Amino acid sequence: MPQTKQPDIFQKEKELIDEMSRIAQQEDFEAQDIHGDFKNLLKQYKRLLRQTEALTKTSDNTQHKLITIQDRLGRYVSPQLKKKILSLKEKVEIQTRRRKLTVFFSDIKDFSTITSHMESEALSELLNRYLDEMTVIIHKWGGTLDKYIGDAIMVFFGDPVFESDAKHAMQCVNMALDMRDRLKELQQGWFSEGYQEPLHCRMGIATGYCTVGNFGTSERMDYTIIGSTVNLAARLEDACDVDDILISHETWGLVRDHTICSHPEALSLKGFTQPQIAYKLLGAKDEDEQKILHLENEELGYSIKLNPNRFSKQDLIELIEKIQL
């Protein structure tokens, strides 16, 4: 490995040594009483400089290594968890707490069957590309990536950074919609590359209290979540039709003003004694749509939604005249 010379931060010290060496070599220097002390001083100073130089450079190497390790760590865990791990304020110990989270599960419908004829190298490439693309979206929306389970992805919002229940739920549904759109785009690329079977995702989202923290032993910990909300998100994903996103009633309550959802469905899910109300997430409302006026009167028998940005007062008068006709 080649060693290149860098600009020298010890230049002044080196110049002093050169000067002292020059004096020590002068002809009359040997005659002076202090020459022994001076030579010893010079030797010690040279040694000290060499040690300082070596220490500085090895310390720089160690810091460089630390930064590389931090960078690599960030590829295994979410940015929030990386920050938590690297913060010395947090104790690394088996400790959990209760917190309201929005939990997300997704998988690729029949992934094993679809990919059963593929070579393992091609399968790895396809799966890694899919997970890579989805992970970019998870980070974009601030999700904590809990784990990949084959082609399945588990994400939660609300820990280690807590903002508000509504914000976490909204971030999660936006992430899910982004993922679904991106998968459709990827689909086209994969088809043209020769993957004939399209991949279809299923996604489930639920909000509720979970136990979150470090589980395991003092030697091997896993930062994850457990609780019925986790099971509900997983079961909703399982109950989904292809390319659909099912959200729980509690999630719907937090996002309904900003999303377009189907009518509620009562689903019988494994592990739940009571039917669970869920909604298909159809899309997010854009800024204009959020200003829609909803005029409704059951007694008089009308229900009208109006977008004032697209529908003027004159348009409304004309409409009423048409209805009278």
Partner 1 sequence: MNIQSLHVPLKKSTPAVDFDVDNALLKIEGESYPENAYLFFQDVLKWLEEFFAQCDRKITFEIKIPYMNTSSTKVFTDIFDMVEDFAGKGGEVLVRWFYEEDDEDSYYNGVELLQELEFPKEMVPYLDE
CB of 52 to partner 1, least distance (A): 9
Name 268's Cβ contacts closer than 8 Å, sequence gap at least 6.
275, 276
CB of 61 to partner 1, least distance (A): 4
CA dihedral 253, 258, 262, 264 (to 10 degrees): 10
CB of 286 to partner 1, least distance (A): 51
**Per rule CB under 8 A, count of chain residues that contact partner 1:** 15
For residue 14, state whether it binds partner 1 (rule: CB under 8 A).
no
Among 36, 37, 40, 65, binds partner 1 (CB under 8 A): 65
Closer to partner 1 by CB, 3 or 217: give it. 3
Question: Which of these ranges, 61-69, 167-175, 254-262, 272-280, lies near partner 1 under the rule CB under 8 A?
Answer: 61-69
**What whole-number distance in Å separates Cα of residue 317 and Cα of residue 252?**
35
CB of 92 to partner 1, least distance (A): 16
Among 23, 54, 73, 304, binds partner 1 (CB under 8 A): 54
For residue 3, state whether it binds partner 1 (rule: CB under 8 A).
yes
For residue 147, state whether it binds partner 1 (rule: CB under 8 A).
no
Closer to partner 1 by CB, 56 or 309: give it. 56
Question: Cα dist. 85→42, 79, 313 in Å?
Answer: 47, 10, 58
Measured distance between the N- and C-terminal CA atoms of the chain, rounded to whole angstroms: 90
Pairing of β 201-216 and β 244-248: parallel
Name 114's Cβ contacts closer than 8 Å, sequence gap at least 6.
108, 197, 199
CB of 49 to partner 1, least distance (A): 10
Bond prior to 160 in cis (omega within 30° of 0):
yes
CB of 32 to partner 1, least distance (A): 24
φ, ψ for residue 225 (rounded to 5)? -130, 150
Binding mask 19-48 for partner 1 (x = CB under 8 A): ----------------------------x-
**Other CB atoms within 10 A of residue 14 CB:** 13
Identity of the residue numbered 53: E
Closer to partner 1 by CB, 1 or 323: give it. 1
Please check whether residue 260 is in contact with residue 227, taking contact to mean a CB–CB distance below 8 angstroms.
no
CB of 206 to partner 1, least distance (A): 43
Among 21, 40, 62, 95, binds partner 1 (CB under 8 A): 62
For residue 64, state whether it binds partner 1 (rule: CB under 8 A).
yes
Closer to partner 1 by CB, 61 or 307: give it. 61
Name 191's Cβ contacts closer than 8 Å, sequence gap at least 6.
198
Closer to partner 1 by CB, 47 or 291: give it. 47
**What whole-number distance in Å separates Cα of residue 235 and Cα of residue 267?**
10
Token pair 């459709």 is found at: 184
Closer to partner 1 by CB, 22 or 50: give it. 50
Residue 145's Cα: distance from chain center in Å?
6
Binding stretches for partner 1 (CB under 8 A): 1, 3, 47, 50-51, 53-55, 57-59, 61-62, 64-65
